[in-house]
Amino acid sequence: MEGIIDFFREPWTFEFMQRGLLAAAIVSAVAAIVGSLVILKGMAFIGDALPHASFGGVAVAFALGESLYIGGGIAALLTALAIGFISRRGVIRNDTAIGIIFVGAFALGILIVSRQDNYTGDLFSFVFGNVLAVSWNDVWLTAAVAAFVVLIVLLFYKELLFNAFDPTMAQASGIPVAWIEYGLLVLLALVTVIAMQTVGIVLVVALLVTPAATAQLLTRRLSTMMLVGAAIGVTSSVVGLYVAWYADVSASAAIVLTATAAFIAAFLFAPARGAVWRGGARDA
Amino acid sequence: MSERADGPTTWALDISDVSAGYDGHKALEGVTFRIEPGCLAGLVGPNGAGKSTLIKIVLGMLKPWSGEVSIFGRAGKPRPGSVSYTPQVDLVDWQFPVTVSDVVLMGRYGGLGVVRRPGVRDREIAASALERVRLTAMADRQIGELSGGERRRALIARALTQQGDLMLLDEPFAGLDAAAQHDLISLFQSLVTEGKTLFIATHDLSCVDEDFDHAVLLNKHVIAFGRPADVFTTESLNEAYDRHLMVVRSGQSTYIGL
């Protein structure tokens, strides 16, 4: 019995694991909340593009010796606004515009890094994530940004919901849909910045999309989808960190794969909507 | 200012010499017609006739290049939300996680202003709109669990919570079977007896001909407007549809089709 308790307690006797858990839990909760809106609006590709584009800013900040967060944040914001601007003009397809901009910014990052002679380990922790290397400062910054994002979602919940569900009617009702669209992109940029350190650029989209998509299979209202998604994200962080500790594997990959497993389970077995029950009904 | 004192009543909708379009491309030219209050009016015309453009103008989502729109005597750019509106069903994501009562409550959002939440009174209005379209029992269902006819009624309930006297409905009959369509028309007729004015864009000319009070036949300009029987002449229909329509009248019924 004590063995079991020790098994569960051991990882958290180390402070870097406590910090890692806090950062991962905060990030995955807020990513699921914003991610719910992202998947409902079909913006998953933008959710992948912003983290990649922010790498350009991270690299510029690294070369200049400035804060990598601020560099990544500025790049993510600029990319978000550029995508919003171009897609509202309607000259080229939205996803084409996204593809052009984010790969350009990412390539800029690679170009700059290729000229750096000094140690680039910090940069690679942004690409692949290094949740166990976060400092207390990182944790507080993450918590502050996450609190701000949640506050904005709470304040503008009504507008975000209406615009995601029925933008035509929202606009006809006098809701400022253009501002809501840009605002959502800015929220996405903020989540990107705090998620980069935790799971890394290439896996941010998983935190945005996977827990939210799992929650959509289990709920029938946006507000509960956000809460259930956040709970799945937090649970995946805890389970993922255990897996990382005992199997000695990458924490970010373990967190993401735990979330993926949760999605597969919900996809197969969600009440009424699971593939297993639906498959049976179709055969009958 | 308002020199149009010739009518016995204020018109529910008075469109006068409106031209409009997008990116220099003209979609409407010199459109003029009026709809009197308390009637069921249809907006018909082929694809690309400018119906959507006209709807956007009446909703205040698009500014006409020239001409004037006046709704119940109130001229100028229509106030957003002053006209109750139901968009085409295929513009709505039916898998979205919202319940039927959430959707109906959205009709109140525009009038609340940014950040403010719907209150008890808004919920009462939404509940009575749901009752009006006989969907109270479905209030807590996810919106996609409703049948085709029920979905239309949910969107109409949402439009009712906007409490506009003019209701603009975009293709409410598309994809409905005959029974659901008749059900919807009797709902429309009872709304009209309660004082609403309904202006409905539709492809179903036979239905407008049989059950509506007024029709506007549009193809970039107004080809005819007035009582359906006067509007749907072979001559006018041929002009609007470029001779692609067939009109068969037999007794009380009219069949108009491709």
What pLDDT is attached to residue A274? 80
Tokens of A85: 């601007």
What pLDDT is attached to residue B145? 92
Which of B97, B102, B110 is the closest to A174 by Cβ?
A: B110
> What's the ipTM?
0.86
CB contact under 8 A, A168 and B87: yes
- Enumerate the residues of chain B whose CB falls inside 8 A of the CB of residue A156: 114-115
What pLDDT is attached to residue B232? 86
Judged by a CB distance cut-off of 8 A, whether residue B26 touches chain A is no
What pLDDT is attached to residue A34? 97
Domains of chain A (ranges; CATH) run 14-202 (1.10.3470.10)
Residues 224-283 of A with CB under 8 A from B: 224-225
Please tell me the distance in Å from B168's CA to the nearest CA on chain A.
11
Mean pLDDT of B40-46: 92
Please tell me the distance in Å from A221's CA to the nearest CA on chain B.
4
Please tell me the distance in Å from A173's CA to the nearest CA on chain B.
4
Residues 165-224 of A with CB under 8 A from B: 165-166, 168-176, 216, 219-222, 224
What pLDDT is attached to residue A224? 96
B80 pLDDT exceeds 60? yes
- Enumerate the residues of chain A whose CB falls inside 8 A of the CB of residue B87: 166, 168-169, 172
CB neighbourhood size of A176 (10 A): 15
CB contact under 8 A, A161 and B112: no
B226 pLDDT exceeds 80? yes
Question: Is residue B121 a contact partner of residue B128, using CB atoms and an 8 Å limit?
Answer: no
Please tell me the distance in Å from A190's CA to the nearest CA on chain B.
21
SS (H, E, C) B167-178: EEEECCCCCCCH
- Enumerate the residues of chain B whose CB falls inside 8 A of the CB of residue A160: none
Residues of chain A scoring pLDDT < 50: 282-284
Distance of CA B163 to the CA centre of its chain: 14
What pLDDT is attached to residue A120? 66
CA distance A229 to A236: 10
Please tell me the distance in Å from A75's CA to the nearest CA on chain B.
29
Mean pLDDT of B211-221: 92
Please tell me the distance in Å from A216's CA to the nearest CA on chain B.
7
Which of B81, B116, B118 is the closest to A173 by Cβ?
A: B81
Closest CA to B44 of B241, B194, B184: B241
Which of A155, A165, A169 is the closest to B98 by Cβ?
A: A165
Asked if the B1-80+167-258 domain carries CATH number 3.40.1550.10, the reply is no
- Return the H-helix or E-strand segment holding B221: strand B221-226
B1 pLDDT exceeds 50? no
B203 pLDDT exceeds 90? no
Angle, vertex CA B30, rays to CA B26 and CA B31, nearest 5: 100
- Enumerate the residues of chain A whose CB falls inside 8 A of the CB of residue B93: 40, 165-166
Query: Residues 6 or more apart from B91 whose CB is under 8 A from it?
Result: A166, A168
What pLDDT is attached to residue B246? 67
Q: Which residue of B has its CA nearest to A217?
A: B97
Which of B98, B107, B114 is the closest to A159 by Cβ?
A: B114
What pLDDT is attached to residue B258? 58
Angle, vertex CA A165, rays to CA A159 and CA A167, nearest 5: 70
- Enumerate the residues of chain B whose CB falls inside 8 A of the CB of residue A220: 97-99, 142
CB contact under 8 A, B61 and A171: yes
- Enumerate the residues of chain B whose CB falls inside 8 A of the CB of residue A159: 109, 114
Mean pLDDT of B23-35: 90
pLDDT tens readout for residues B145-197:
999 899 999 999 999 999 989 999 999 998 888 898 999 999 999 999 999 99
- Continuous H helices in A43-135: 44-64, 68-89, 94-114, 121-128
Distance of CA A53 to the CA centre of its chain: 14
Q: Which residue of B has its CA nearest to A226?
A: B97
Query: Residues 6 or more apart from A139 whose CB is under 8 A from it?
Result: A19, A22, A23, A26
How do the domains of chain B map onto residue ranges? 1-80+167-258, 84-163
What pLDDT is attached to residue B9? 65
Question: Is residue A44 a contact partner of residue A57, using CB atoms and an 8 Å limit?
Answer: no
CB contact under 8 A, B110 and A159: no
B17 pLDDT exceeds 60? yes
CB contact under 8 A, A172 and B61: yes
Percent of chain A past pLDDT 90, that is, above it, reads 56
Residue from B98, B105, B151, B169 to probe the interface with A (highest A Cβ count within 10 Å): B98
CA distance A77 to A187: 9
B7 pLDDT exceeds 60? no
Q: Collapsing DSSP states into helix, strand and coil, what is residue B17?
A: strand
Mean pLDDT of B221-237: 87
CB neighbourhood size of A209 (10 A): 23
CB neighbourhood size of B140 (10 A): 12
CB contact under 8 A, B114 and A164: no
Residues 62-121 of B with CB under 8 A from A: 79-81, 83, 85-87, 91-93, 96-99, 102-103, 106-107, 109-112, 114-118
CA distance B93 to A172: 17
CB contact under 8 A, A221 and B97: yes
Residue from B22, B84, B96, B170 to probe the interface with A (highest A Cβ count within 10 Å): B96
What pLDDT is attached to residue B252? 63
